[in-house]
Amino acid sequence: MMKQTQNGTIIEVEVTTNGRKFGLRGIDPWTQRLKIKLTQRAQDNKANQELIQETSRLFKADVIILKGSKSNKKTLLVNTGIDKIREVTSQ
């Protein structure tokens, strides 16, 4: 799920850790969450750091974890418009 706000776009994501390479895996049709594959393990906040760094690079905007810092289901705030998010996630 994506929602435009005054501060940017809120995105619901589901992450999988300890993968071979970082990547977007599309939107889950049932949960409507963007699926993201991370290379780091969920230890010592490494996966969250990778998530912030890589999504910031992809969307060319600041990213903040609003909810779910200790869960695989997270809510992100991306400091860009919803159209930019849709453009990147549809590729």
Q: Which domain holds residue 69?
A: 2-89
CATH number at residue 39: 3.30.1200.10
Summarised one tens digit per residue, pLDDT across range 57-69 is 999 999 999 999 9
pTM of structure:
0.92
Please write down the long-range contacts of 78-86, taking CB distance under 8 Å and 24 or more positions apart.
78/8, 78/9, 78/10, 78/11, 79/7, 79/8, 80/8, 80/9, 81/4, 81/8, 81/9, 82/2, 82/3, 82/4, 82/9, 84/9, 84/59, 84/60, 85/2, 85/9, 85/11, 85/59, 86/2
Does pLDDT of 23 surpass 90? Answer: yes
Q: How many domains does the chain contain in total?
A: 1
